[in-house]
Amino acid sequence: MKKIFSLFFLFLAACQSAPTATAEATTIASATSVPATETAVPAPTSTPLPVATATPDTVKISTKDGMTQIQIPAGTFIMGAMDVYRENDEQPPHEVTLDAYWIDQVEVTNGMYELCVNAGDCRPPREVRSDNREEYYGNPGFRDYPVVYITWFDADAYCQWAGRRLPTEAEWERAARGDDKRNYPWGDELPNEYNSNSLNIVGDTTRVGSYAEGASPFGVLDMAGNVWEWVADRYQPNYYSKSPLENPQGPSAEEVQNLYRVIRGGSFQEDGIFLRLVNRSFLEGPNPRADPKTEAYYGKSTNRIGFRCAEGE
């Protein structure tokens, strides 16, 4: 039932009122849900963006938006769940071989996204607020925080503008897991206040790259918690049972009977079940048959979904 609850509450978040209304925190139902904390959200800092501690040939900086990109080498890994919380759409675990690629070290920030909006290639976020902050996007104090209220359409447009693309589901999972069978990007320790923005401890988004202890084996940050992340793939529950074993791209439009696109990584509100790096959830993506003048054409967005980009070698 986890997937159904996830979709239901994400939909509620997407239907929140206009920016002038007071934002209320939403929680996803699960066996170990943690109630919202009453601790005030910390003020933003001006700490420089993180740079991976790796050899120069495995890190590069995008000249378009200043994003630090991490190289993920070609290799084979186990994709899918092997733990006691595994669900049907995470099965079966299977070997996947990927070509080398690059992935953003952190989630795309408000400041980065604003560059694309100012260039005329991206739509502004649907809301300027976050979960508990009325002035978020466009506020200099939160320029290094993840952009939210972004549809899949908008995330895809940004990545194209930046000369990149959305990562496939397989690319996202390998960047988070590495080549072993860990359950979280940092290992098997449960999420806590030191390795992730999760469990509603903070109560809203945090500055990208704030949890060094939560780094994946490749040095990629924020892959569990902070905000969910759009990936390229359409959602199909049984895709793992038939997906290609080399560079899977997700099911085609002809293979699925819905508009859902996959989201990964969980958000600041989620517990350990949702933050497992194998967890698959989803929300409506763009509907090419809808009127381009309507929001249905672009799909849904929430205050808990952002994204990062990838790039081929």
Domain ranges of the chain: 1-313
pLDDT at residue 37, rounded to an integer: 34
> pLDDT tens digit string along 45-81?
333 344 444 455 799 999 999 999 999 999 999 999 9
Homologous superfamily (CATH) of 1-313 is paralog of FGE (formylglycine-generating enzyme) (3.90.1580.10)
d(Cα 248, Cα 242) in Å, to the nearest integer? Answer: 10
92: preceding bond cis by omega (within 30 degrees): yes
pLDDT at residue 57, rounded to an integer: 77
Q: What are the residue ranges of helices labelled H in 125-241?
A: 152-161, 169-177
Q: Which parts of the chain sit beneath pLDDT 70?
A: 1-56
The mean pLDDT of the chain is 86
d(Cα 263, Cα 285) in Å, to the nearest integer? Answer: 10
Residues 6+ apart with CB under 8 A from 114: 137, 138, 143
Confirm if 16 and 23 have CB atoms less than 8 A apart. yes
pTM above 0.95, yes or no: no
Q: Which tokens hold the place of 142?
A: 């939160």
CA atoms within 13 A on the CB side of 269: 22
Dihedral sign for Cα atoms in the order 229, 208, 33, 150: negative
pLDDT at residue 45, rounded to an integer: 37
